[in-house]
């Protein structure tokens, strides 16, 4: 009896640990690459093309994104963007005459899993290039690993500026960063009503902290007084006490840095505590997700009037923008947000780099990526020496459930509505 009980307890623990270890990571894919002897990825020897990822007439590129977990909505947007780019590129003959295959690895919205994904993609599958990840937190975690492994990384969406801080030549970013976000938002506010005070509400992760820091600096430089900075931990979403505190300080403007679920909850609870600001503004992300203004998966009417930094909208004038929007809508039944577009453009940039390198050697691709200068539906992409693509950002506002571009004035499709009417008058 005693022994049985003991065994049972141990068995349970063992079973749980086992489940934990296999649930966490996607196992190695039984592909042709596993039959090749693992060669060192740090191929400084020039001319040695990466045979394993090019075997069978295809080129395999690695993708890390958040297919499950708290950021799954964005991971899905990534996937859709990649898939559309993949179809187009393969229909035109692929790269170096070979079809492209994308090797996805799910980081489950966690940085430690993103690091494991790098090991899987680079060490086991021998991809010559990786695209990813979604969040700044996960991306920051893989920057140094990718540099060590000497395989180029193209970052589609991570806005925290510290992902580019290492100065590593292996890191390329297609999107604009938190510094550009803050400067553009402040510029918009200065030209539209000029609020005097601001509160910043941000998720206590790399993405939130980086946007908080950037906004604090940009606001100070422009003479907007930051009177409150509130960090929150996602997961137990009762933000009413925090919002009460912000309400008591009466800021003219609020700047949020939040992912989708929190953006929804924050706006619902702002109404519940009757927090009225003249401007509800945000560092993109949750506040610019395609789902955010919708009633079933987003904040619905509570999203109305919110301003957000935006990297791209379907009405952008770059050639290919509208076609991408149409293709996306036909395929998935909804309009894309910029997260999908950035993934789409990132794959095009990767292909341009490989074509220019003329080889699948990671070192050659890296050199070539610094030199590319291409036109995409996301605008011109050129990484230059720094690896950062100088992408212009916009300000959008939710008007009648739609994102409308309101800034800069020459790209605007609607006039900004401000001050935001108080909740009692909506």
Pick the closer one to another protein by CB: 179 or 298.
298
Pick the binder of another protein from 33, 52, 53, 108 (CB under 8 A): 108
Q: How far is CA 408 from the centre of its chain?
A: 22
Residue 382's SS3 state is: coil
Query: Binding of another protein at residue 238 (CB under 8 A)?
Result: yes
Q: Is 244 in the site for another protein (CB under 8 A)?
A: yes
- d(Cα 231, Cα 254) in Å, to the nearest integer? 13
Which residue in 53, 36, 68 sits closest to 151, CA to CA?
53
Q: Does 425 bind another protein (CB under 8 A)?
A: no
250 is a contact residue toward another protein (CB under 8 A): no
C-beta atoms surrounding 327 within 10 Å: 16
Q: Does 401 bind another protein (CB under 8 A)?
A: no
C-alpha distances out from residue 101 to 26, 51, 88, 116, 297, Å: 18, 15, 13, 20, 32
Provide the H-helix boundaries in 95-229. Answer: 111-118, 136-149, 178-191, 206-222
Binding region for another protein (CB under 8 A) out of 157-165, 179-187, 267-275, 411-419? 267-275
**Binding mask 294-313 vs another protein (x if CB under 8 A, - otherwise)?**
-xxx--x-------------
408 Cβ contact list (under 8 Å, min separation 6): 392, 394, 395
Q: Judged by CB, which is closer to another protein: 60, or 209?
A: 209
Note the residue count of the chain: 426
Q: Which of 187, 230, 355, 367 binds another protein (CB under 8 A)?
A: 230
Q: CB-wise, 242 or 406, nearer to another protein?
A: 242
248 binding another protein? (CB under 8 A): yes
Site size for another protein (CB under 8 A)? 52
User: Applying CB under 8 A, does 371 fall inside the site for another protein?
Assistant: no
Whether 61 and 350 have beta carbons less than 8 Å apart is answered as yes
Residues from 54 through 93 that contact another protein (CB under 8 A): 68-70, 72
Among 9, 384, 390, 392, binds another protein (CB under 8 A): 9
Which of residues 150, 269, 276, 397 is near another protein by CB under 8 A?
269
Residue 171 burial (C-beta neighbours within 10 Å; 0-12, 13-18, 19+): buried
426 binds another protein (CB under 8 A): no
Give the shortest CB-299-to-another protein separation in angstroms.
9
DSSP code string of 206-260: HHHHHHHHHHHHHHHHHT-EEEEEEEE-TTS---HHHHHHHHHH--SEEEEE--H
Q: Is residue 200 part of the contact set for another protein (CB under 8 A)?
A: no
> In the complex, what is the shortest distance from the CB of residue 421 to another protein, in angstroms, rounded to a whole number?
16
| Residue 116 CA to its chain's centroid (Å) | 19
The rounded distance, in Å, linking the Cα atoms of 66 and 64 is: 7
Which of 359, 343, 373, 383 is CA-nearest to residue 132? 343
Asked if 261 is part of the footprint of another protein (rule: CB under 8 A), the reply reads: yes
- Answer for which of 34, 44, 51, 233 binds another protein (CB under 8 A) is 233
The Cα–Cα gap between 258 and 269 comes to 14
* One residue of 35, 45, 97, 236 binding another protein per CB under 8 A: 236
Which of 174-182, 187-195, 238-246, 345-353 is the region at the interface with another protein (rule: CB under 8 A)? 238-246
Pair 210, 160: CB distance under 8 Å? yes
Distance, in Å, from the CA atom of 378 to the CA atom of 339, rounded to the nearest integer, reads: 11
Residue 39 interacts with another protein (CB under 8 A): yes or no? no
Binding flag, residue 23, another protein (CB under 8 A): yes
Chosen residue from 112, 274, 323, 373 binding another protein by CB under 8 A = 274
Question: Which residues are at the interface with another protein (CB under 8 A)?
Answer: 1-2, 4-6, 8-13, 15-17, 19-20, 23, 68-70, 72, 108-109, 204, 230-233, 235-242, 244-245, 247-248, 261, 264, 268-269, 271-274, 295-297, 300
């Amino acid at each position: 009896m005693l022994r049985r009980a003991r065994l049972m307890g141990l068995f349970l623990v063992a079973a749980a640990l086992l489940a934990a270890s296999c649930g966490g990571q996607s196992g190695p894919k039984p592909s042709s690459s596993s039959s090749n002897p693992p060669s060192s990825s740090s191929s400084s020897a020039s001319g040695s093309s990466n045979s394993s990822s090019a075997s069978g007439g295809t080129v395999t590129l690695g993708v890390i994104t958040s297919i499950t977990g708290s950021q799954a909505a964005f991971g899905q947007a990534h996937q859709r963007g990649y898939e559309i780019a993949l179809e187009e590129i393969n229909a035109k003959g692929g790269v170096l005459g070979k079809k492209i295959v994308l090797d996805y690895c799910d980081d489950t919205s966690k940085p430690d899993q993103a690091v494991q994904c790098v090991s899987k993609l680079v060490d086991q599958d021998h991809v010559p290039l990786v695209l990813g990840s979604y969040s700044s937190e996960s991306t920051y975690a893989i920057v140094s690993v990718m540099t060590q492994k000497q395989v180029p990384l193209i970052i589609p969406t991570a806005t925290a500026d510290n992902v580019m801080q290492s100065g590593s030549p292996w890191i390329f970013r297609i999107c604009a960063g938190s510094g550009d976000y803050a400067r553009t938002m402040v510029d918009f506010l200065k030209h539209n009503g000029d609020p005097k005070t601001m509160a910043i509400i941000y998720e206590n992760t790399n993405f939130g902290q980086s946007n908080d820091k950037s906004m604090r600096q940009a606001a100070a430089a422009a003479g907007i007084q930051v009177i409150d900075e509130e960090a929150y931990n996602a997961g137990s979403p009762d933000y009413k006490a925090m919002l009460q505190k912000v309400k008591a300080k009466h800021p003219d403007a609020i700047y949020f840095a939040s992912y989708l679920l929190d953006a929804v909850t924050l706006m619902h609870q702002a109404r519940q505590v009757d927090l009225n600001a003249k401007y509800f503004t945000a560092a993109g992300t949750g506040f610019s997700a395609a789902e955010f203004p919708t009633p079933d998966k987003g904040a619905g009417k509570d999203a109305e009037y919110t301003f957000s930094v935006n990297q791209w909208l379907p009405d952008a004038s770059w050639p290919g923008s509208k076609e991408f929007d149409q293709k996306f809508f036909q395929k998935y039944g909804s309009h894309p947000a910029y997260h999908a577009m950035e993934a789409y453009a990132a794959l095009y940039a990767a292909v341009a780099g490989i074509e220019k390198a003329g080889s699948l050697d990671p070192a050659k691709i890296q050199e070539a990526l610094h030199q590319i200068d291409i036109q995409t539906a996301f605008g011109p992409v050129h990484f230059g020496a720094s690896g950062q693509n100088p992408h212009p950002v916009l300000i959008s506002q939710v008007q009648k459930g739609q994102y409308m571009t309101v800034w800069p004035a020459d790209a605007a499709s609607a006039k900004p509505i401000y001050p935001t009417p108080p909740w009692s008058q909506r």
